[in-house]
Structure 1
């Protein structure tokens, strides 16, 4: 593989791509990671690594999600990451241009999953591991291929010596050869078998071979077949049979857990043990290479071992116990997600479903801890959600779907995952006839679809929610649905239609007594009136909005209301007042983090008033700063501001006829 390394002065126009394929358990990931560690000094701009989850209990990762993670590592702010795959891929390649980066894509499902993750820069190297041959990359992208075969006899002998010790291996050469044959020279099987032997000093290699074969006929049969499946089954069976009864139960219940990575609290939930005992068991299984550490008090299990654990659970665990364990762990994820959701979105309605608390409780002290837990468990939560729907655990399924709204706080690419969660939750809600949850999820799904630009689908979801709310007489849900429908019409620039929805929502908002909800309606009515040229009406709505935002303690919203007033006064021709209000809005935003995009919008408004007053220099200063702010957050409006700035510089937008 070292021959693939680009030279330090490489000026080739293509990225070096290498694939490592082979049977499961043959050591592809171990080889890739160890080689990457050894050569990463050749890539001074860093290493990017992603487990694409192509094979395992969870669905393969969407390239959108992987790219978003890479872009964050490369320094892009989360709200500056595009939501479309082509835009993400373009930004990714631009950032890597001229850099020397090593990219390791482990456990890929297909060439289609990998292609968006390929840079276009010389000097970069991409290493892909997969069970499949990745022939599409080899043909279309000229990737080099390394098919990882089973250990050679010499390699196998070396591994045995390293694990059980040279003296023991030298003392039993025939038994060692038999052990290697039994394991079919498969690294995963051989490592587990040798670890068991090393842990029991009184156990000879010959004893282990006898245990594994259970007679000479079995040894002859296995040696003749020599395939990986028999090796895996045989070694796993032997290792499992040697476990103490309580540890064997913990191992097989890992197969009930819906994911392949888990923390100690989740193990406690699925086994019913204390966290202390769960931790001891997981450490013992890690010592035997049946699981591997994945962080502090976290572990992952190889997908072959996960499948084997599921098989042992189906064989050795009563069905009632399996169902109870699955119900416990899925319910634990759902309840913990609800606790975290309330911390992340304080004051907002939560999905109206009750989920019984399942020990152990996860201590989440504040919003940051809650968000960290949700982000860390998102893959398992999605797998748990699919499992809950498949096994008709409808309450936990609805809870997990409703709490997926935290994904709106992540890169836009996660909205696709969020919409999938909402669709699964709607299936569960309709299956049990829970109209309240269905309405809640329809509103959430409509918002997600709007953010994704799928406006016709968003309208369908919100119309269904409105119909449900009207049948039940739920004014709050009606208001939410009307706001959603109005927002879709605004995105379509159908201002008159949008106003109809917001006017219907206004009395419902007032009746709710929620000042912020009423302010949102007034805000959008002001924007609609301004776009229709009705600036006195826009000013009246903005003035009421400002009072309501202040009452609600909504600082960001209050600055937005001041900007709405500035737009209205500008439309009425009072540019000095508009500029004073714009300055006040900018000052308020500057005291609040994460408001650069909003400041840019105010600066564009101020630039318009400066142009009307014949002050192109000041207009250019405002537009220049607005472009900088839009660029910092990756807002595509930066390009429009650039065009406008060029026009002002050329003197083509002198709106006053002066100077």
Structure 2
């Protein structure tokens, strides 16, 4: 085929593509495209428009871009048509340049470009671009460095990476249009289709398009990929060209397309982590996350209009979160809202909220689109389908994890491996289907989680339930390990958990995990590590408890996890979370029909509610638990409920009603001879007598309790009773002795991480110092107490603040 034939074929192909674009536009509009109106919009004559559409004349680049925009051709399709137009233009120029010689026998096509070939292949930028300020600054600095170092700086490559739909192409094209004047020798663009349902664009095909755009005759393009890549590098030498290599699957797909000399800049976008380009080509890596909340809301405002957003502000905020701040999801949601009547944003939010967690008609269905490049499920599948099978399995199983984050040990439990599955995690982070939050900690946004949950539901029979059970086993074992480090003096829980030797017949135990090795536990090797683990995992543990409570046969995990978390929740002052956790445990035990577990959870919920300053509700819960324990003949449960009643009545100032319960609890402990129960009973009686104005009697009981706690090495009990001893000493007019005792209690509270009691120790210590005339030290101690209580958002802060105000000045 000669040059003239090539030019004609390219024009015919372009005409066919434009005709197809017109047909699609008419289907979308539901009417014929008015050619005369279209010509007026383009500021050309109707005859010129017909010539453009039938291929007899090539439109200039500016008019061609406007024509595509008017027909609704955007993104990758617009880039492909612009490349085709440029190729036809190059072939036309070469045909005219060789007129009179092309037909002679033996002539070879020229190996070099036509001198005037300056490609302008950038597709139109996304008009509603928002945010990404930090990324744009990094790109600006890079292009400035390239421009300033012409001829001296090595080739520069930038890789923009991120999960599907996060806006990589949008950022690349927005910035490319912003700086295209810095690259006067042209801009090349190709969509490599690395994650489309069809085959990706091969490097040789992309090279062919680039070389045509740079003026190489079609017949002169080398057939061998390496030779074509060398020719591209030759043509780019000494020129300033920007290359946008969009949607790359791998470094190997991109490498032949990179320039070889300074002055050019290649921007590569990919869903995969292209480590090869970073290591070998020294590429700058820019990783995109979902939009910050302010930028996501700004994008929604631009898409639906400020007036509409102002009419439904709360729905807009919730829609931003339900779309996981993912730009593609926001754009799809905005398109639905914009095409619907007023009030539709609230309707869409309701629809998405109801769809959360549903196996059928979930969020991805609500945000579904007919076009594959806009349908979230299809977009996500493009990345998932390329995963190795072990990594694909782990991604599916991540849909079984309900928490906002997951560590690598919990990933091992999901996967059923003895240790963290490093290779699978690396594959998922490389594909940007999982984000690494910190060392050994990972997260995926809510829409990816919804996709993973769908995949898990459609996986092999029993796979998801087995994974959930392994996960619950893991969290229970880790929580109990951490709890033992927080309270090493306490005897083991009587209801040893699933898989523990003491409980081989756990009702949640099933055969589907019997062949799986237990996953390794996180390195919790002391009090500080245990506290840190609970702090990091509490939100996840609460979500896991809710999952267990709602899953038939797995309810025991909910109340066992609640017991393992109880001490940390109390010490760390998490009053609301404490109430939620024990409420979940009570519901789970009630649903499972386990009366013993229900009694314990009800008592612990009563304790938690009492701390939330809801005494009537707490009293009702505790008396309900007391009746249930009596009905069951559970004397030990009755004793524990009585101690809870003592604390509840003390919090409301009804100490005379607390005293009988304290004495009955002590009598029960004396009958059993249990030293810990005896110490707890003595403490309850002592604190009640002290509150009733009998410090001498209270001190006697308190010293006996302290002796028992010290013998048991029970640090928590020692810290609590030392506070009582200090108050008694102070009430008896011995503030110096009180200071010494408070100091001991404060040291223990800090070592235990009990912030609430630390604040009260500081407050009592301040009172003792004030009694000794140490007023400056007293105010400093009380200010520290106030700081701790305010950090806990505890209502006791008001009383401490009032004391501090009374001594000011």
Sort the TM-score into its range (normalised by shorter chain). Answer: 0.5 to 0.7
Any idea what SS the aligned residue of 1:354 has?
coil
Decide whether the 8 Å contact of 1:630 with 1:636 is kept in 2: no
Counterpart of 1:299 in 2: which secondary structure?
Answer: strand
Correspondences of 1:42-441 after superposition (within 5 Å):
151=170, 154-155=173-174, 171-172=208-209, 194-198=247-251, 230-275=374-419, 278-315=421-458, 317-348=459-490, 350=493, 352-356=495-499, 359-362=518-521, 363-392=523-552, 393-408=554-569, 411-412=572-573, 414-441=574-601
Do residues 601 (structure 1) and 702 (structure 2) align?
no
Alpha-carbon deviation of 1:606? 6.2
1:333 is displaced (CA, Å) by 2.1
Superimposed CA distance per residue, residues 393-425 of structure 1 (whole angstroms, 9 cap, x where no aligned partner) = 11222222222325425653x322222121111
* Alignment of 1:581 onto 2:737: yes
Shift of 1:632: 4.9
In 1, distance between residues paired with 2:473 and 2:245? 33
Deviation at residue 510 of structure 1 after TM alignment: 2.6
The answer to whether the 8 A contact 1:351-1:437 is kept is no
Uncovered stretches (5+) of structure 2, i.e. residues with no partner: 1-126, 140-164, 178-187, 195-201, 214-243, 258-269, 271-368, 501-516, 751-757, 790-796
Deviation at 1:260, TM superposition (A): 5.0
Instruction: Give the secondary structure class of the aligned counterpart of 2:132.
Output: helix
2:672, 2:406 → 1: CA distance? 42
2:801 is matched with 639
CA offset digits 1:151-172 (Å, max 9, x no partner): 3893498898799999986755
- Mapped partners of 1:245, 1:381: distance in 2: 29
Does the C-alpha gap of structure 1 residues 435 and 198 become closer, same or farther in structure 2, counting only changes over 3 Å? same
Structure 1 Cα separation of the partners of residues 173 and 776 of structure 2: 72
Alignment match of 1:465 (pick from 625, 629, 635): 625
Aligned residue for 1:151, secondary structure, equals helix
Q: Is the 8 A contact 2:489 2:713 kept in 1?
A: no
The separation in 2 between residues aligned to 1:255 and 1:562, in whole angstroms, is: 48
Change (3 A) 1:628 1:319: same
Contact 1:516 1:548 in 2 (8 A): yes
What is the CA–CA distance in structure 2 between the aligned matches of 1:241 and 1:554, rounded to whole Å?
55
Cα offset, 1:448, TM superposition: 1.6
Cα shift at 1:287:
1.6
Pick closer, same or farther for the CA change 1:643–1:236 going to 2, 3 Å.
closer
Distance apart, 1:586 and its partner CA: 4.5
- Please state how far the C-alpha of 1:34 moved relative to its aligned partner: 5.0
Would the aligned equivalents of 1:196 and 1:288 in 2 still touch at CA under 8 Å? no
Q: Deviations over 1:355-385 (max 9, x none)?
A: 1266212143223333333322223222222
Secondary structure in 1 matching 2:807: helix
Distance 1:248 1:192 in 2: 27
* Cα distance change of structure 1 residues 27 and 465 upon mapping to structure 2, 3 Å threshold: farther
| SS of alignment partner, residue 433 of structure 2 | coil
Q: In 2, distance between residues paired with 1:324 and 1:192?
A: 43
TM-aligned CA deviation for residue 482 of structure 1: 0.6
Equivalent residue runs for 1:524-563 within 5 Å: 524-553=684-713
Partner of 1:456: 616
Report Cα offsets for 1:2-37 as digits up to 9, x if no partner: xxxxxxxxxxxxxxxxxxxxxxxx999983775899
Give TM-score, length-normalised by structure 1: 0.60
Residues 1:31 and 2:174 are matched in the alignment: no
Q: Which moved more, 1:637-646 or 1:386-395?
A: 637-646
Helix, strand or coil: the match of 1:496?
Answer: helix
Q: Give me the whole-angstrom Cα distance separating, in 2, the residues matched to 1:351 and 1:172.
A: 73
Task: Give yes or no for contact 1:562–1:584 (8 Å, CA) kept in 2.
Answer: no
DSSP 3-state at the match of 1:462: helix
CA 1:559 to 1:279, structure 2 compared with 1: closer, same or farther past 3 Å? closer
How many angstroms apart in 1 are the aligned matches of 2:396 and 2:249? 18
Contact kept, 8 Å, 1:351 with 1:399, in 2: the verdict is no
Cα gap change, 1:590 to 1:355, in 2 (>3 Å): closer
SS for the counterpart of 2:170 is: coil
Do the aligned partners of 2:739 and 2:768 also contact (CA within 8 Å) in 1? no
CA distance in structure 2 between the partners assigned to 1:29 and 1:368 by the alignment: 43
Match of 2:785 among 630, 636, 642: 630
8 Å Cα contact 1:330/1:396 also seen in 2: yes
Deviation of 1:253 (Å): 2.5
1:607–1:549 CA distance, 2 compared to 1 (3 A): farther
Determine if contact 1:543/1:565 at 8 Å carries over to the other structure: yes
Q: Is the 8 A contact 1:335 1:399 kept in 2?
A: no
Q: Pick closer, same or farther for the CA change 1:633–1:199 going to 2, 3 Å.
A: same
Note if contact 1:343-1:367 (Cα within 8 Å) is conserved in structure 2.
yes
Q: Is the contact between residue 192 and residue 289 of structure 1 (CA under 8 Å) also seen in structure 2?
A: no
Q: Deviations over 1:218-255 (max 9, x none)?
A: xxxxxxx7868744333333333333434333332222
Determine the C-alpha separation between the residues in 2 that align with 1:584 and 1:34: 58
Contact 1:579 1:606 in 2 (8 A): yes
Aligned to 1:61: none
**Preserved CA contact (<8 Å) 1:600 1:630:** yes
CA distance in 2, matches of 1:197, 1:539: 75
Residues in 1 aligned to 2:545 and 2:133: alpha-carbon distance in whole angstroms: 32
CA deviation string 1:445-480 (max 9, x = no partner)? 222212222222222222222223223333332222
TM-score by length of 2: 0.50
Cα distance in 2 for partners of 1:642, 1:202 equals 69
The SS at the match of 2:436 is: strand
Q: How far 1:386 sits from its partner (Å)?
A: 1.8
**Offset, 1:496:** 1.0
* CA apart distance, 1:567: 5.1
Distance 1:232 1:454, change over 3 A: same
1:507 aligned partner: 667
Residue number in structure 2 paired with 1:475: 635
SS at match of 1:398: helix
Query: Structure 1 residue 508: deviation in Å?
Result: 1.8
Distance 1:567 1:410 in 2: 21
Question: Which piece of structure 1 moves more, 256-265 or 382-391?
Answer: 256-265
Structure 1: unaligned runs, 5 residues or longer? 1-25, 39-130, 132-146, 177-190, 209-224, 611-617, 650-659
* Aligned-partner SS, 2:466: helix
- For the Cα contact (< 8 Å) 1:192–1:290, is it kept in 2? no
Q: 2: CA distance between counterparts of 1:202 and 1:569? A: 80
RMSD: 4.6
Specify the structure having the higher radius of gyration (Cα). Answer: 2
